[in-house]
Structure 1
Amino acid sequence: MGVVINQSIKNTIITYIGFAIGAVNTLYMYVQFLGDTYYGLVGFILSCANILMPLMAFGVHNTLIKYFNEYKTEKEKSEFLSFVLFLPLLLVIPFSLIAYFGYHQIALLLSKKNDIVYDYVWQIPVIGLSMGYFEIFYAWVKVHLKSVLGNFIKEVFLRILVSVSLFAVYFNWITPDDFVYSLMGIYILSMLIMKFFAFKERFPKFQIKLPSNYKAIIGYSLFIILTGGIANLFLEIDKIMLNGYVKIENIAYYSVAIFIATVIAVPSRAMHQITYPITAKLISENKIKELNELYKKTSITLQVIGGLLFIGILANINQLYLLLPEKYSGGIFVVFTIGLSKYFDLILGNNNAIIFNSKYYRTVLFLGVLLVLITVGLNMIFIPLYGLKGTAFATLLSITLYSLSKLLFVVFKMKLFPFTKATLQSFGVLLLTFLLFYFWDFKFHPILNIGIKSILITLFYLGLSYYLKLSLDINNIFDTLIKRIK
């Protein structure tokens, strides 16, 4: 776990710096500088692009990690890298032709409720393609266990450029319309920079010859397209469906609430960057005992860290929304429900990495498709009835069902179990902290209130977690820090 903890800490710090910048963008600059209409438009475009991303990448970003360690010679690795680099074109080219010739029909369908969407639909596949190839080049360096730089570009650099563009809107250097175009340029630039560093790490020797297992590679990539699309649908389908039922401004309100709740998932995203290739390696070497240990460690570590974030958000949510325009306050229920689903998914540790790198990866596809249909159905029922609250509740139900099904699959099919006695103790610490800190606030300015309350929550929660030794990895980090201070 040494390299995991080392790079996970770096990735967590980088990701939180990015989230801090993103928080300023999301909670203030988008709201005050861009306006609700264009903010909602940006949320819709990015959600659609995120759903397209696995399709545009042809699932290669996961395929590269799964199969890279199976090749032993430099020649085999070069053949493999050349093949996966051009593999996405099998879908990108025909998809581009369909989008070009069918633009009017597609744009008309997506802009049925909100006319402003029509002129920007063409940006969705461009941003999706940029996201897809960014992930491919990022995977290119992750297989060499170097995940920090790509994480910096993705989490920090991109958001800084967005901040610059938002300031440009504020100073009237560009219009909100120009901002939407600049956002597309930012994603293209990030992809090109990631490509530069990926090729610097290992420049491909382009070869026409197919790898010996090319059929398996294509089959797995197709699987990742579907499963990746399903995973992204769970994250983004709510915003897309909101566009069909309510005014686009509501997507802005929903986006703020989703951003706040997503903070809970940051530790998982950071740790995933390095545990994914390690999980793939352990499975390829059939080291089941080590894999089970990694599963348990990632689960409790993420549960402790994610629990602190979850409690911090819930205990301060009312004060946080005092800083926003009153029309955004309807998102408080969304934060509670989506936050709960994120927390449940967090405690499953590296569950996704285990499934996607095992020989059973195809068997979860049917379940994913079924749950997407359930998600769409639930949204169609609850959005017309309850608006933002309806889609949040539908998302909570669908994500919880999906997470639970993946957990049960790994437990019964692969005989791996992530939970220990510490799992129940961590739930107890979480509940106790919530009861102690949720129902009162200082009578200060909201920012000062949030700051003081967060410090008290952190000291109590982490102090009790350390005393109970819930996560040995977290305790080791504290012990090391204490020794350095002494």
Structure 2
Amino acid sequence: MGVVVRQSIQNTISTYLGFGLGAINTLVLYTRILPVSSYGLLSIQLSVATLLLPLFLFGLPNTIIKFYNKNASAEESARLNAFSLYFPLIFIFFSFAFVLIFKLGVFPFLLQKYAYVAPYAWHILGIGIGMTYFEIAYAQARVVLKTAFGNILKEIFHRLCIAIGLLGLYFDVLTLEQFFVLLVGVHFLRALVMYVYLWRYCDISFSFRRPEKLKSYLNYSLFMFLGGTAAVVILEIDKLMIYTFVNIDQVAFYTVAVFMATIVGVPARSMYQITAPLTARLLHESDYKGLQSLYKQSSLNLGMAAGGVLLLLAVNLETIYKFIPQAYGGTTVLVLLIGSSKFYDALLGNNNAILFNSPYYKSILRFGVFLAVMTVVLNYFFIPKFGIKGAAIASFLAISLYDTAKVIYVNMKYNMQPFSRGTAYLLIIIITSFALAQWVPDIENRYLSLAVNTLFTAVLYIGLLYLSKMSETFNGLVNRGKRMLF
């Protein structure tokens, strides 16, 4: 676990710095600089681009991770790297054609239905292409366990550029239209920087000869595309459906709530960058004892990290809403529901990596179709009745059922599951810490209230985890921190 812990810590730091910038953007700059409708429009552009991402990627990042270390020769790995560059162009070409037809008014009912978004179709496509090639380059860096710089680009770079753009908008250096163009340019620049890093520091080579395992790559990528689409659908389709059934202003309110809840999932995102290639290696070597150890340790360590974030979020939620415009308030239930689903997702540890890299990867297709259909149906039922709260309920139910199905399936195939006695202790500690935090007196000053609640809850939570001795890794980190401080 040494490599996992070291790079996970590096990735977690950069990811939280990125989320810190994201918090400034989302809770301060977006809500104060952009009109609500413009913020909703921006959210729709990013959501639709993200929905295009699985199509453009076609499962290639997972294919790279699965096959790169299994290839018998460096030449075949170089062919796989090159294949991942030119294959997405097929889907990008057809998307260009569709947007052109759409803009020419061949589908007038779509132009009328999405009239507010239609002028930005090219922007959406450009953002999607930039995202695609960044993710491919990042996957190529991950297979050689070079994740730190890529994670900085993934989490910090574009948010910093957007913050600068928003300030330019505020000081009338940029117009709104120029800001949207800047958004496209930032995603292209991020991909370019990632490829420069890849070529200079990751010892990655490219060969444009036909891969010998082309059929295997295509078959695996197809199933990764079909199954992986589900995760994107559940995260992004709700915003598009809110726009369809309610209005674009509600998309902005929902985006703020989802952002706060998404912070709970940051540790899982950080650790996955390194556990995915390690899981692939353990499966390739049939080291099931090591796999089970990684499964349980990743579950417990991620649960502790995500549980702590959820706890701090729940304790400070009312205070946090005092920092943003009043119009964005009233979404406490949304944050807690989606945050709880992210916590449950973290408790699964490297479950996704096991499924993606196992011989049973085709099962992802069944899970993916199940999740995608359920998400759309639940949103279709709940959003018209309950608005954005309905979208949160639908997401919570869909994610919980989906994650439970994956745990059961891995247990059936490998006779292993991520939970342990430590999981029960963790839940008790989270509930106890939340209950005790309610005794902290109310403080009128929002800055002081946030600081006191955070400090008290964090010290209490870390102390209880340390005393429980449920994780040697966690206690080792605390002891190392104590030695550095004292």
What amino acid is the match of 2:307? G
Match of 1:350 in 2: 350
What amino acid is the match of 1:355? L
> Residues 255 and 282 (structure 1 numbering): CA distance in 2 closer, same or farther, change over 3 Å?
same
> Residues 332 and 193 (structure 1 numbering): CA distance in 2 closer, same or farther, change over 3 Å?
same
How is 1:42-191 mapped onto 2 (pairs within 5 angstroms)? 42-104=42-104, 112=112, 115-191=115-191
The CA distance in 2 between the partners of 1:106 and 1:345, in whole Å, is: 42
What amino acid is the match of 2:72? K
What amino acid is the match of 1:431? I
What amino acid is the match of 1:39? Y
Residue 264 of structure 2 contacts residue 306 of structure 2 at CA under 8 Å; is this kept in 1? yes
Alignment length (residue pairs): 486
TM-score with structure 1 setting the length:
0.96
Residue 50 of structure 1 contacts residue 232 of structure 1 at CA under 8 Å; is this kept in 2? yes
Match of 2:305 in 1: 305
Q: Percent identity?
A: 37
1:234 aligns with 2:221: no
How is 1:173-322 mapped onto 2 (pairs within 5 angstroms)? 173-202=173-202, 206-322=206-322
Match of 2:326 in 1: 326
The CA distance in 1 between the partners of 2:246 and 2:104, in whole Å, is: 22
What's the RMSD between the two structures over aligned residues?
Answer: 1.7
TM-score with structure 2 setting the length:
0.96
> Residues 108 and 303 (structure 1 numbering): CA distance in 2 closer, same or farther, change over 3 Å?
farther
Give 3-state SS (helix, strand or coil) of 1:396's partner.
helix
The CA distance in 1 between the partners of 2:412 and 2:20, in whole Å, is: 40
What amino acid is the match of 1:69? N
Q: Which consecutive residues of structure 2, in runs of 5 or more, have no partner in the other structure?
A: none
Deviation, structure 1 residue 121:
1.9
Residue 47 of structure 1 contacts residue 236 of structure 1 at CA under 8 Å; is this kept in 2? yes
Give 3-state SS (helix, strand or coil) of 1:404's partner.
helix
Residue 262 of structure 1 contacts residue 339 of structure 1 at CA under 8 Å; is this kept in 2? yes
Match of 1:36 in 2: 36
> Residues 228 and 259 (structure 1 numbering): CA distance in 2 closer, same or farther, change over 3 Å?
same
Deviation, structure 1 residue 371:
2.0
What amino acid is the match of 2:468? L
Deviation, structure 1 residue 92:
2.2
Residue 314 of structure 1 contacts residue 438 of structure 1 at CA under 8 Å; is this kept in 2? no
1:406 aligns with 2:406: yes
1:373 aligns with 2:373: yes
> Residues 434 and 48 (structure 1 numbering): CA distance in 2 closer, same or farther, change over 3 Å?
same
1:473 aligns with 2:476: no
The CA distance in 2 between the partners of 1:403 and 1:249, in whole Å, is: 31
The CA distance in 1 between the partners of 2:74 and 2:353, in whole Å, is: 26
Deviation, structure 1 residue 473:
1.1
Instruction: Single out whichever of 361-370 and 155-164 deviates more from structure 2.
Output: 361-370
The CA distance in 2 between the partners of 1:439 and 1:40, in whole Å, is: 38
> Residues 391 and 37 (structure 1 numbering): CA distance in 2 closer, same or farther, change over 3 Å?
same
The CA distance in 1 between the partners of 2:193 and 2:149, in whole Å, is: 11
1:18 aligns with 2:18: yes
What amino acid is the match of 2:141? V
Instruction: Single out whichever of 428-437 and 362-371 deviates more from structure 2.
Output: 362-371
Residue 337 of structure 1 contacts residue 396 of structure 1 at CA under 8 Å; is this kept in 2? yes
The CA distance in 2 between the partners of 1:188 and 1:441, in whole Å, is: 49
Please list the CA deviations of residues 78-99 of structure 1 after superposition, one character each: whole Å capped at 9, or x if unmatched.
2222222222223222332233
Please list the CA deviations of residues 95-125 of structure 1 after superposition, one character each: whole Å capped at 9, or x if unmatched.
3223322335588666655632120122222
What amino acid is the match of 2:473? D
Residue 108 of structure 1 contacts residue 118 of structure 1 at CA under 8 Å; is this kept in 2? no
The CA distance in 1 between the partners of 2:118 and 2:90, in whole Å, is: 27
Residue 308 of structure 2 contacts residue 458 of structure 2 at CA under 8 Å; is this kept in 1? yes
Instruction: Single out whichever of 100-109 and 174-183 deviates more from structure 2.
Output: 100-109
The CA distance in 2 between the partners of 1:43 and 1:106, in whole Å, is: 26
Deviation, structure 1 residue 288:
0.5
Match of 2:27 in 1: 27
What amino acid is the match of 1:274? I
Deviation, structure 1 residue 245:
1.3
What amino acid is the match of 1:314? A
Dislocated runs of 4+, deviation >6 Å? none
Q: Which consecutive residues of structure 1, in runs of 5 or more, have no partner in the other structure?
A: none
The CA distance in 2 between the partners of 1:383 and 1:464, in whole Å, is: 40
Residue 322 of structure 2 contacts residue 446 of structure 2 at CA under 8 Å; is this kept in 1? yes
Deviation, structure 1 residue 252:
0.8
Instruction: Single out whichever of 307-316 and 412-421 deviates more from structure 2.
Output: 412-421
Deviation, structure 1 residue 389:
0.6
What amino acid is the match of 1:62? N
> Residues 168 and 52 (structure 1 numbering): CA distance in 2 closer, same or farther, change over 3 Å?
same
The CA distance in 2 between the partners of 1:320 and 1:277, in whole Å, is: 37
What amino acid is the match of 1:361? Y
